Amino acid sequence: MTASSASTPRSLPRIRGERHIAALVGSVIVVLAVLLPVATILLVAVSGTSEEWPHLLRYVLPQSLGTTLALLLFVAAGTSVIGVGCAWLVVAYDFPLRRLLAWALVLPLAVPPYLAAYAFGEFFHYVGPLQSALRALFGFTNSRDYWFPDIRSTWGAALVITSVTFPYVYLTARVVFLMQGRNIADVARTLGARPWRVFFRILLPVARPAIVAGLALVMMETLNDIGAVEYLGVRTLTLSVYSTWLNRGSLEGAAQIAAVMLVIVFLLLSAEQWARRQQRFHAARGTQMHVRPPRITLSGGRGLAAAGALSLPILLGFGIPLFVFGRYVMRRLYQFADPQVLQAFLTSVAVASVTAVLTVLLALLLINAIRLRRRPATLLLVRLASIGYALPGTILGLGLLLSLAWIDNTVDGFSRSFAGFSTGLILTGTAASIVIACTIRFLALAESAIRSGLEKLPPNLDQAARSLGKTANQSALTILLPLLKPAILTAGILVFVDTVKELSATILLRPFGFRTLATHVYENASRGAVEDGAVAALLIIATAIVPVILLSRPLMGDRNT
Amino acid sequence: MTMNTNPFRAAKAGIAALAIAGGFATTLPAAQAEGTVNIYSYRQPFLIQPLLDAFTAKTGTKTEVLFLDKGLEDRIAAEGTNSPADVVLTVDIGRLINVKEKGVSQPVDDAAINSEIPAEFRDPEGEWFGLTTRGRVIYASKDRVAQDTITYEELADPKWKGKICMRSGQHNYNLALFASMIAHHGEQKAEEWMKGLKANLARKPDGGDRNQAQSIFAGECDLGIGNTYYVGLMINNDKEPEQKDWAGAIKVLFPNSEDRGTHVNISGMAMAKHAPNRENALELMRFLGSAEAQAIYAEANYEYPVLPGAKISETVQSFGEIKPDSLSLADIAKYRKAASEMVDRVGLDDGPES
C-alpha cells in the first residue's frame, strides 16, 4: 500500500531520453496556482508590523494554540477509535443489520460540520429536547440542580467534528481490511493467533498507512473548520484569526496567525509522511479481492451489541442533524417550492460538478508527474499542493480575493490601454473564483483518493505494459486509467460533496445573485434564524448523500460485503 | 469496462453537462446594467428586502444585494476601480468607520440626505450615514426579577452571580457596549467591571440575542443582554410561535435611564468609492433616509428611526421610553479595539469559573 516515500521504487525505471519535462512543468503550474493564496497571505503577514504580537502572544496564541491542539488530539483519538473499530466489526464479523449499517456509517459525511454544530447545539442545549426531557424526568427546575456537560466546549466541538468526519477513517481502514488484511489475518489465525492479537499485531500495522491517510484528512478538516468552532464558541487559532481581523481591524495580524497555522499544517503533512513511510503492501493479484473467507458470526446478544455499537456513531453524526432540521422543515415544507431555494440547489450542483471534474483532472496530472518523475522535488511539489485543504476557507478565500482581484485588475488595465475596452472582474466578478477556491481547497482530497487507488495496484502492471512496448503515456491511458476508475470516481465524489458543503470561501468570493444552498443556510443562520434555512440544510445533506451512496458502493469494493 | 455500460461515467457526463449549462447561466454579472443599484450588505437580505422592494416600486430602479458577513471592506478594496459596489449597508458604528478608514467609501454631500439625517448620526465628511438606532438593553425575567430599573454597572454586582446570559463578548454589539464602558469609566475600571460581569455569567456566552431571552424563559438565567428590536421580532414571530413565549417571559429594562442613558448603536450606509451607478446610489440613499423608508424600518424591523419625528412601532413603544446615551459614536468606535483586547484578556468568552 503506498508509494509515497522516495525510497519506494514505485516509479518506472528511468529510460534514457525520457525526461518527462511536460509532466513536471504541468505540475509546477498547478502547484503555483495552489500556492497563490497562501503566498498572498504570507505576503500580507510580513507586510504588517508586529504591534499585535504582545497582545497575541500573551492572551491569544497560548490559549488558542492549546485549544487547537487539544481539539486535534480529541478528534484524532475519536475518529481512529470509531473509524477503525467500525471498519473492523463490519469486515470481520457478521451480525444483524450488518450490511445496512456498513453502508449507513458513511452517511455522516454528508453533514457539514457547521450544520452538525448547530444541530448538536440545539439538541444538547439547556432548552433542547435532551435536557428538557431530563428535567421533566427528574423534576429539576434549573441548570444549577444538575450537571450536564456543555456542548459549547472543546470536547463538544471535538464530538461534533468527530461525529461527521470519522467516515474518512472508516472508509480507508475498511478498504484495507477488505483487500489486504484478510489474507495475512488468515495466515496468522491458522498459526494459532487469537483474534485480538491478529487485530493489533497484524491488521492494525498493515492498515496504518490507510488509517493515517484518513486521519490526515480528518485533521485538516478540523484545522480548517470555522463554522463549528464559531458556533460553539471554541477559541481555536482559526477563530483568533477572525477576531484579530474583524474586531481589531488587523488583517496583517490575522495573516500572521494564519502563518502559525501553516506551520501546524506542515507538521501534520510531515507526520503523515512519516507514518506512511516504507509501507508497501500490495494485493498481489486482483482476484484476491473477490475471495473471502466467511465472517465470524456473532449471535444473540453479542450480535445485537455489535449492531448497537455501530448505530451509535450513525445516530450522532446523521440522526441528530436529521432530527433537528427535520423538525424545522416540517413547519415550512412550502419552502421546497421556493424558487430561491431551487436556484440555490441548481447552483450548488453545478459549481460542485465543475469543481469535481476540474479537481480530478488536476489531481491526475500531479499523480502522473510522481509516477514519471519520482524525485524528492516532485514529491515535495505534490505535498505542497495539498496545503489548500488545511487552510480555513476564509483565509483561503481572502488570499484568493486579493490575488485574483489583482489579476483581474491587471488584465483589465492592459485591455483598457491596449484594446480600449474593459474586461471588468473576470474572475472575482464571476463564479470562476469559487470554482478556483474549491479546486485549490479540495485538490488534496482528490489526490489522496486517487493515490491510494494507485498504490493498491500491483506495480508490475505498469512495468509489464512498458516492457511490452507501450510508452509511459499509453500505459497510463490504457492500463492504469481504467483500473483507477473506482478511485477516480471516489475522488470526484469527495470533491463534489465537499464543494456542496463549502461555505466560508464561497461566501467571501461569490458574485451578485450567486446563491448556493450553503450560503442560503448561512444567510438565515447569521440573522439567528437557522430554522428558515432548514430546508436548504436538508437539501445540502440530501445532495451530499446521493454521491456518498454512490461512493460507498465501489469503496465497499465487492459484492459480498 | 466499456464506456456505455458504466453508469458512473454516464452519470458524470450528465452532471458535467448540467454543470456547464448551470454554472455559467448563474454567473453572468448583472453589475453595470442600467437602472440598477448594487448593494454590498452586512445586513441580512431578509431585513432590508422590504425597503428595497419599496424603493424599486417607487423609482423603478432595481437592486442587487450581495450579503457578506466578513471582509466586505477588504473585498471592495481588492476589487478596486472595477468594483461593482454602489452602496454599502452595515450595522455597527465600528464597521461604518472601518468602511471610511479603509478608503472604500466616498463623501456624499446631498442636501436632501443631510436634511433627513441629523448631524450626530452621520460622518462630518459625509462618508457614512446612520439610518436607525437600537438600544442595547437588559432582558429581565418577569417572574424572578423584581426591580424595574438597572444600570450596566450593576451587572458586575455579585448579587447577580450565576444569573446573567449573553452572546459572545467579541460580537459587534457587545464590543460597542464595552467600548462605551471604557469611554465612560476608563480602561482600568471597565476591566474590573468586565471581570465582575464574567463572574456573574450563568454560562459561557453563546447564541444570538434571542437565545438569551430563550434561556430566561427556560430558567437558565434571570438577566440577558440584547438589542431592543429582537424583542419586537420575537413578539411578532408567527412562524416560530414559541419565540412569543420567550418574549413573554421577559421585560425590557433600559439601563442607566436615570443617569447617562442607554447605550445605542446604529445601522447605516455609505457610498462605495468607485460606485459605477452613482446617481442610482444617491437615489437609494435619499430614499433610505426618507420618512417612508424610516417608517418601514420602524414597523418591520422594530428599530428606532433616525429621522426626527418618525413614528416608532407600537411594539417598541410598549417597552417604554428610551433615553440614549449622548456619548458620541466616534468615541465608541475609538475604543473598539481596546474592548476586543479586553474581552480576550478577561477571558469573558470562557464563561464563569466554576
**With contacts defined as CB-CB under 8 Å, which chain A residues touch B203?**
126, 143, 150, 152
List helix spans (H) across chain B.
Answer: 7-25, 45-59, 72-79, 93-101, 111-116, 172-200, 209-218, 228-235, 242-248, 278-289, 291-301, 314-317, 329-334, 336-346
CA–CA gap between residue B126 and residue B270 (Å, rounded): 8
Examine the domain organization and report whether A26 and A65 are in the same domain. no
Q: How far apart are CA A162 and CA B165, in angstroms?
A: 29
**Does the pLDDT of residue B10 top 90, yes or no?**
no
C-beta of residue B173 within 8 angstroms of C-beta of residue A528: no
Distance CA B55, CA B39 (A): 13
3-state SS, B230-242, equals HHHHHHCCCCCCH
Q: How many CB pairs (< 8 A) connect A and B?
A: 201
B44 and A127: CB-CB below 8 Å?
no
Q: Please report the residues numbered 196 through 215 in chain B whose beta carbons come closer than 8 angstroms to any beta carbon of chain A.
A: 202-211, 214-215
Does the distance separating the beta carbons of B170 and A247 come in below 8 Å? yes
Average pLDDT value for chain B: 87
Looking at residue A49, its amino acid is T
Residue where a domain terminates, one of A508, A525, A553: A508
Number of domains in chain A: 2
Residue range(s) defining the domain that contains residue A474:
15-47+351-508
Task: Per residue of chain A (561 residues), give pLDDT as tens.
Answer: 333 333 344 445 555 445 677 777 888 888 888 888 888 988 888 887 777 778 888 888 888 889 999 999 999 999 999 999 999 888 888 888 888 898 899 889 889 898 899 899 888 877 778 888 888 888 777 666 777 777 878 889 999 999 999 998 998 888 777 766 566 777 777 787 777 777 777 777 777 877 888 888 898 888 888 888 888 888 888 888 877 887 777 888 888 888 888 888 878 878 777 776 655 554 444 444 455 556 778 888 888 999 999 999 999 999 999 999 998 888 878 777 788 888 899 999 999 999 999 999 999 888 888 777 767 777 777 778 877 887 777 778 888 988 998 888 888 888 888 887 777 888 888 889 999 999 999 998 888 888 877 877 777 777 777 777 777 777 777 777 888 887 888 889 889 988 998 887 888 888 887 888 888 887 777 666 677 788 888 888 888 887 777 766 655 544 444
Query: Are residue A309 and residue A362 in the same domain, yes or no?
Result: no
Q: A71 with A85, same domain?
A: yes
* Best residue of B3, B38, B46, B70 to probe chain A, by most A CBs closer than 10 Å: B70
A523 located within any domain? no
B10-18: average pLDDT: 48
Alpha helices in A415-533, H assignment, sequence order: 432-456, 460-467, 472-475, 481-483, 485-501, 504-509, 517-525
Contacts of A249 in chain B (CB under 8 A): 98, 101, 337
In a 13 Å sphere around the CA of B141, the CA atoms on its Cβ side amount to 17
Residue-wise pLDDT for B240-280, tens only, equals 788 899 999 999 999 999 999 999 999 999 999 999 999 99
Are the CB atoms for B266 and B89 separated by under 8 Å? no
pLDDT (tens digit, 9 = 90+) per residue, A43-90?
Answer: 888 887 777 778 888 888 888 889 999 999 999 999 999 999 999 888
Task: Locate A540 and state its grid cell.
Answer: 445540502
Q: Report the Cα A468 to chain-centroid distance in Å.
A: 39
* Inter-chain CB proximity A141 and B219 less than 8 Å: yes
Q: What is the DSSP string of A144-167?
A: GGS----SSSHHHHHHHHHHHHHH
Across the interface, of B44, B215, B337, the residue whose CB is closest to A126 is: B215
Are the Cβ atoms of A331 and B16 closer than 8 angstroms? no
CA closest to A132 among chain B residues? B218
- Shared domain for A263 and A408, answered yes or no, is no
Q: Is residue A545 part of a domain?
A: no
Taking residues B132-140, what's their average pLDDT?
94
Whether residues A43 and A53 fall in one domain: no
Q: What local confidence, expressed as pLDDT, does residue A88 receive?
A: 86
pTM reported for the whole predicted model: 0.80
Chain A interface mutation, best of B2, B5, B6, B8, highest count of A Cβ atoms under 10 Å: B8
Contacts of B202 in chain A (CB under 8 A): 143
Residue A261 CB burial class (10 angstroms; 0-12, 13-18, ≥19): buried
Asked if residue A518 is part of any domain, the answer here is no
Q: Which of B5, B9, B26, B90 to mutate to test the interface with A (most CBs of A within 10 A)?
A: B26
pLDDT digit string, tens, across residues B73-94: 888 998 988 899 999 999 888 8
Q: Domain map of chain B by residue range? A: 36-133+265-310, 134-263+319-350
CATH code where residue A436 lies: 1.10.3720.10
- E strands of A85-216, at which residues? 93-94
> Which of A474, A493, A508 is the last residue in one of the domains?
A508
A271 with A147, same domain?
Answer: yes
Statement to judge: residues A166 and A75 lie in one domain: yes
B186 touching chain A per CB within 8 A: no
CA of A328 to nearest chain B CA: how many angstroms apart?
9
Pair A86, A125 in one domain: yes
- Do A149 and A37 reside in the same domain of the chain? no
Q: What is the pLDDT of residues B154-187, one digit of tens each?
A: 999 999 999 999 999 988 899 999 999 999 999 9
Q: How far apart are CA B248 and CA B264, in angstroms?
A: 23
Q: Answer yes or no: same fold for B36-133+265-310 and B134-263+319-350.
A: yes
Closest approach of A402 to chain B, Cα-based (Å):
5
Q: Is residue A345 part of a domain?
A: no
C-alpha distance from A550 to closest chain B C-alpha (Å) = 8
- Domain stops at, among A278, A311, A327: A327
d(CA B174, CA B181): 11
* Residues in chain B closer than 8 A to A233 (CB atoms): 168, 204-206, 349
Is A548 within a domain?
no
* Residue A5 covered by a domain: no
Phi, psi of A198 (to 5 degrees): -60, -45
Looking at the structure, do residues A40 and A96 belong to the same domain, yes or no?
A: no
Q: What is the pLDDT of residues A20-50, one digit of tens each?
A: 777 778 888 888 888 888 889 888 888 877 7
Residues B60, B101 contacting (CB under 8 angstroms): no
CATH class of B36-133+265-310: alpha beta
Question: In the beta sheet, which residues pair with residue B252?
Answer: B139
Is B134-263+319-350 a CATH 3.40.190.10 domain?
yes
A97 φ/ψ angles, rounded to the nearest 5 degrees: 65, 15
Q: Is residue A158 assigned to a domain?
A: yes
A296 and A247, same structural domain?
yes
B-interface mutation test, from A234, A248, A351, A551, most B Cβ less than 10 A away: A248
The beta-carbon neighbor of A512 closest among B19, B31, B47 is B31
Q: Pick from B6, B214, B230: which is nearest to A127 by CB?
A: B214
B11 at interface of A, judged by CB pairs closer than 8 A = yes
- Which residues of chain A lie closer than 8 angstroms to B332, CB-CB? none
Q: Taking the CA atoms of A361, A367, A368 and A373 in sequence, report the sign of the dihedral they define.
A: positive
**In terms of domains, do A140 and A261 share one?**
yes
Residue B8 to residue A485, Cβ atoms within 8 A: yes
